[in-house]
Amino acid sequence: MPSLFREFAATFSPNIKTDVLSGLTVALALVPEAVAFAFVAGVHPLVGLYAAFMVGLITACIGGRPGMISGAAGALAVVMVALVADAERLYGDGMGLQYLLAAVVLMGVIQVAAGALRLGKFIRLVPHPVMLGFVNGLAIVIFLAQLPQLQVSTPEGKWGWLTGEWFSGMQLYVMLGLIALTMFITINLPKLTKAVPSALAGILVASLLAFGLDLDTKTVGDLASIAGGLPPIAIPNVPFNMETLLFILPYSGIFAAIGLIESLLTVTVIDEMTNSRGRGNKECVAQGTANIVTGFIGGMGGCAMIGQSMINVSSGGRGRLSGIAAALFLLSFILFASPLIEQIPIAALVGVMFMVVIGTFEWASFRMVGKIPKHDLFVLVLVSVITVLTDLAIAVIIGVIVSALVFAWQGAKRIHVLSQKQEDGSKLYKLYGPLFFGSVASFKDLFDISNDPDKVLIDFADSRVMDHSALEAIDTLAERYIAEGKEIHLLHLSQECRTLLKQAGSLCDVNVIEDPHYKVAVDELA
């Protein structure tokens, strides 16, 4: 416990004033997003606000990435709506929220288990092109999410803005003007002073201007009332039986996967921005704990939010205090300041989010065209497009799979041999390149078994035997030479290979020289 306290104190706040002001900026931007995501999920706005408060508070206190902001996220909301609709249809009106809360609790349990099993280290398997695609795709998603705010009415659905009715005339000009003003202040204020986060200053100036001139413009209150009390503490009102478990388990698994993928990728992005390193497994446990608690206070659950995290970091927030302050400010808005917060023009918050889009998108991607391998560029674009069209988790998983297949294909083409006659009449094959499932077919074609002399040596010193398929290929090759009545010596094989080849018999002399002692698979704790 003392060590945990010391760790918390060390990361609490490098600069209290900056962290508090950054937290206030984040809290103001959280309000419309939490409300919008609650609507997407098909639940009351307070369900999203309570989730933003509790998830943000707990992850800020015990998470593995100080300065990162978590809350009700759109990536989860677009999946949650299916659970709510199915529960309403199967179990009656009003039950959608209760089954969602139960699924959020189970989601948290799965995430805690993932952290305890140290599965967070597998984020290392995400290649850089997938990371770039994730960042670019999410920037586009954040941009598209702001467009309905420029419309009088927007049909339901992810692409409802395409057929929505846009503001026109003076109301449109006022909104665009306030957006431009907010962005102008956000860009230029840091050139004059960094005493106040520029995004917060932009929101305050735009709000005062709109209020002072009584401008006809859309406000936070036009979305929904954010007034409420303290989050209620209650167990989800669902039957505790196998039917309930089987119903919510698939959804909870999907929620957990999406939440962890987005959170761990956001950890990586913030690490690069701050030149520091977060702790992925600790973040998994924190996200899970936050979702368990959130499910018991009527919140829709959540995960890391790259947009809000970018606002926080660009405003100077680095410590845990920034996330704690954002959560507490958000709760105070709900309890005490809802009439005031509801007067903030949506245009000011849209302007801040547009700045997030500009800061999030990896503009250097355009300069990479023609300078990086074509398959990496393809993966980058593929992940970006899938993120926009479908879902973040699906995009990342597909990106990793495509990258792995490309890597396997490239590796399969690198295996080759150099052969030479020895003074005693034998033939030596020196093998180069990795031997694994992708290269075993080429490996079998490298040897002239029928025309080789009676004694053959195969040197594996410059080759790596990487999986069971490789071991089987070596065993098959040995059996072919044995069938021809020829003696084969396999040099520099690992212990795993020698064990497998014992069945080759006395004609197969496994002569290991200067064994490099490598393993077929290594799994080290991160």
CB 220 within 8 A of CB 342: yes
Alpha carbons within 13 A on the beta-carbon side of 297: 19
d(CA 441, CA 473): 8
Q: Which of 68, 71, 70 is nearest to 318 (CA)?
A: 68
State the angle between helix axes of 16-41 and 320-332 in degrees (0 to 180), rounded to the nearest 10: 60
Give the helix/strand (H/E) hosting 7. Answer: helix 2-10
Bridge-based pairing state of the strands 427-435 and 455-465: parallel
pLDDT of residue 522: 38
Kindly write down the DSSP assignment for every residue of 29-80, as one continuous string. HHHHHHHHHHHHHTS-HHHHHHHHHHHHHHHHHH-SSTT--EES-HHHHHHH
**Residue in this structure with the two tokens 């709760």, named with its chain if needed:** 331
Lookup: tokens for 184: 């102008």
CA-angle at 265, arms to 261 and 298, nearest 5°: 50
User: What domains can you pick out in the chain, each with its CATH number?
Assistant: 28-168+218-343 (no CATH), 413-509 (3.30.750.24)
- The SS3 call for residue 433 is strand
HSE at residue 294, side-chain half, CA atoms within 13 A, is: 36
Hey, which residues does 345 pair with through a beta bridge?
219
Cα distances (angstroms) measured from residue 285 to each of 77, 80, 87: 21, 21, 28
Integer CA distances (angstroms), 447 to 209, 381, 439, 443, 471, in order: 80, 41, 14, 8, 16
Contact 465, 474 (CB under 8 A): yes
Helix/strand/coil for 19: helix
The amino acid at 194: K
Q: Which long-range contacts (CB under 8 A, 24 or more apart) does 404-410 make?
A: 406/375, 406/379, 408/436, 408/437, 408/438, 409/438
**Residue closest to 303 by CA, chosen among 271, 255, 340:** 255
User: What residues are paired with 392 via a beta bridge?
Assistant: none
Q: Is the distance from CB of 254 to CB of 81 less than 8 angstroms?
A: no
- Residues with Cβ within 8 Å of 305's Cβ and at least 6 positions away in sequence, in order, are 33, 69, 70, 71, 73, 266
Q: Residue 299: in which H helix or E strand, if any?
A: none
User: Hey, is 429 helix, strand or coil?
Assistant: strand
3-state secondary structure of 282: helix
Helices 128-146 and 306-314: crossing angle in degrees, nearest 10, is 90
Rounded CA-CA distance 497/444 in Å is 16
Cα angle 364, 367, 372; round to 5 = 105
pLDDT digits (tens, 9 = 90+) for 73-88: 877 887 898 899 899 9
Alpha helices, DSSP H, located in 63-127: 74-91, 95-116
State pLDDT tens for residues 349-367.
Answer: 899 889 888 988 889 889 8
Residue found by looking up tokens 């090759």 in the block: 477
Q: Are 253 and 259 in contact (CB under 8 A)?
A: no
Tell how strand 487-491 and strand 508-509 pair up.
parallel
Side chain identity at 247, as an amino acid letter? F
Low-confidence ranges of the chain (pLDDT < 50): 504-526
Tell which residue, 393, 442, 434, 366, has the closest CA to residue 132.
Answer: 366
- Asked if 266 contacts 309 with a C-beta cutoff of 8 angstroms, the reply is yes
Tokens for 77, please give them: 């909301």
Inter-residue contact 467 to 489 (CB < 8 Å): no
> What does the pLDDT look like over 484-524, one tens digit per residue?
888 888 887 766 666 655 554 444 444 443 444 444 433 44
Report if pTM > 0.85: no
Token digits of residue 323: 């996330």
Residues in the chain: 526
Q: Which residue has the tokens 């690490």?
A: 271
- For 157, left (φ over 0), alpha (ψ -120 to 50), or beta? left
Nearest alpha carbon to residue 380 among 14, 127, 193, 170: 127
Q: From CA 443, how far away is CA 436, in angstroms rounded?
A: 9
